[in-house]
Amino acid sequence: MSDNHSQNPDLDENNSVLTDAAAATRENHMLSEGTEPISLWVILGSAMIVLIGGGVLFSGSLFDYKNFSKADYVRDDAPNSGPKEILPKTAIVAYSKIGEKKSVSCKGCHGNNGEGGSAIPPLAGSEWVNGPSMRPAMIILNGMKGEISVAGKSYNGNMPSQGAGLTAQDLAGVLNYIRTSFGNTSDKLITVEMAQKAIDATKERAGGQLTSSELNEKYNRDLEGEPLDPETLVHPKTLEPVAAE
């Protein structure tokens, strides 16, 4: 029985594993779902959608640069494009902005929110900050030491002078900033001219840190000068009032 191969292949002892395997290799493999190759048309179609979609978005009709920048954002002019237009700000905003920059060192001790620490008095809710303006101005320029009572608590620390390199404009900025921040709500504006009065008074002193008793005896008053409405429009850098149009 040499030719029973065709009649009953399953029982054919001569059937070779090798020939079966070769037959299987010739079959088309079924790929598992999701791993089949993508048609070239699908790829080209997607590319067209991206190109057209991008064109519509950036053509300006749907995508507007203004939607993605802050309302008061002023873009720098290109070099040599002529003088830049600087928008005036209200005096209180312009002064406080300068003061905020100059108050980084204060926050190192008095805290980011003027809350103070166990041995450092707060600027928030302090009668020394919010009271007569000559006292905080003199503390900043001369520093202070010894006993002081702030918002009902006693301290006995040491604050070094912060006057080095501080201009009258910086000092006015810091005063306005600390008197209108951390919950403080002074409605009086300290002008550059007023701040200069404290710088002059500091020059007349022998020097050294102030004590709370010297502050109360000699400097328990407001800085003198022409008052300025905090809402006056000023140039944000020079702080000069700008004529309203």
Residue 155, interface with ligand HEC (CB under 6 A)?
Answer: yes
Name the residue nearer to ligand HEC (CB basis): 88 or 122: 122
**Judged by CB under 6 A, how many residues of this single chain contact ligand HEC?**
30
115-143 b/e (C-beta count within 10 Å ≥ 16 → b): ebeeebbbbbbbebbbebbbbbbbbbbbb
Name the residue nearer to ligand HEC (CB basis): 23 or 164: 164
Residue 150, interface with ligand HEC (CB under 6 A)?
Answer: yes
Residue 186, interface with ligand HEC (CB under 6 A)?
Answer: no
Name the residue nearer to ligand HEC (CB basis): 169 or 232: 169
Name the residue nearer to ligand HEC (CB basis): 128 or 219: 128
Residue 149, interface with ligand HEC (CB under 6 A)?
Answer: no
The span of 35-43, 75-83, 100-108, 222-230 binding ligand HEC (CB under 6 A) equals: 100-108
Residue 149's DSSP bridge partners are 154
Name the residue nearer to ligand HEC (CB basis): 122 or 230: 122
Residue 120, interface with ligand HEC (CB under 6 A)?
Answer: yes
Q: How far apart are CA 192 and CA 215, in angstroms?
A: 21
Name the residue nearer to ligand HEC (CB basis): 89 or 179: 179
- Return the amino acid letter for 229: D
What count of residues does the chain have? 245
Residue 217 Cβ, how far from ligand HEC at the closest point, in Å? 15
Q: Which of 174, 190, 192, 239 binds ligand HEC (CB under 6 A)?
A: 174
Q: Which residue has the tokens 């912060």?
A: 162
Q: Which residue has the tokens 């873009």?
A: 75
Provide the 10 A C-beta neighbour count for residue 97.
Answer: 15
Q: How far apart are CA 243 and CA 245, in angstroms?
A: 6
Residue 223, interface with ligand HEC (CB under 6 A)?
Answer: no
CB-count burial class (<10 Å; 0-12, 13-18, 19+) for 229: exposed
Q: How far apart are CA 19 and CA 95, in angstroms?
A: 93
Q: Which residues bind ligand HEC (CB under 6 A)?
A: 103, 105-106, 108-110, 120-123, 126, 128-129, 136, 139-140, 144-146, 148, 150, 155-160, 162, 174, 178
